[in-house]
Amino acid sequence: MKSLKVSHDFAKTILSGEATSTWRINDDKDLHVNDVIHLIDKVKPNEPDSYVVIGKAVITSILEKQIGKITQEDMVGSERFISTEELLKTFRGYYGPQVDDQTPMKLIRFDFLGPIEDVKQNLKVVEAKLFGDGGSRGNPGPSAYGYVIYDAADKIIVEDGGYLGVTTNNQAEYQSLKMGLETALARGVTKIDVYMDSLLVINQMKGKFKVKNHDLIPLYRAAQESSKQFDKITFTHVPREKNKKADSLVNQVLDTINSKKVV
């Protein structure tokens, strides 16, 4: 899952409901409207081990403006500055003296979906198991992903499912892997065992099958990039009956979407 890191003080304003947007320069996270992201509190900026996922948010709008054209209205719900000069001074401190009134900035607005339930415990899990699944009703058709992350004692750390729009089964399977790996990394996992009932995805990730479908290549590459960030990772194919939890998350999402369309 994509993420945005924020300062500890700003994280507090998000949790309190005061802040609903953030400014970014040189943003390269490929964020889009309707993306669901993790918000990460950089508790101690120079100590990545202190970083905590405070919750999820959905991006509602992305506005790009030159600093000199930013208005006080634009700043509602984000960091507030008395003047453009104050804003420039602040962001020069972050990015260097090259920042001027012509520098483009992105204003990312979001709806905070709520905190992670166990964020206060700040439990860092080193070893984990990821069960992922994706499904499409129509292939291509309405699709969803689902994944569950367990610790070494088989306690659920995170479970999540989401709607993907119209995709294929294989695209949905890859999305479950991609988002599951990104979430595990955000939680500090360094060793992970991946289990999926998609023989195609598992064998492609193990290098046994080539990725020939052009629509799968970017998803495969994203999963590969995340995989490289673990100290240890394994991929194992399991039958569907051993992947029931992730499968049920997929069907819950699709059933919900279908019921809304009926209504």
Interval 21-47 mean pLDDT: 82
pLDDT at 211: 96
The model's pLDDT over 40-73, given as tens digits with 9 standing for 90+, comes to 999 888 887 788 888 888 888 888 888 888 887 7
Q: Which domains does the chain have, with CATH numbers?
A: 3-115 (2.30.130.30), 123-262 (3.30.420.10)
d(CA 187, CA 183): 6
d(CA 53, CA 3): 9
pTM of the model: 0.57
What DSSP designation does 190 have? -
Tell me the residue ranges of DSSP E strands in the chain. Answer: 3-7, 21-24, 36-42, 52-66, 104-115, 127-136, 141-151, 156-167, 191-196, 232-237
Question: Sheet holding 36-42: strands in order across?
Answer: 3-7, 36-42, 52-66, 104-115, 21-24
The model's pLDDT over 87-107, given as tens digits with 9 standing for 90+, comes to 888 888 877 888 898 888 888
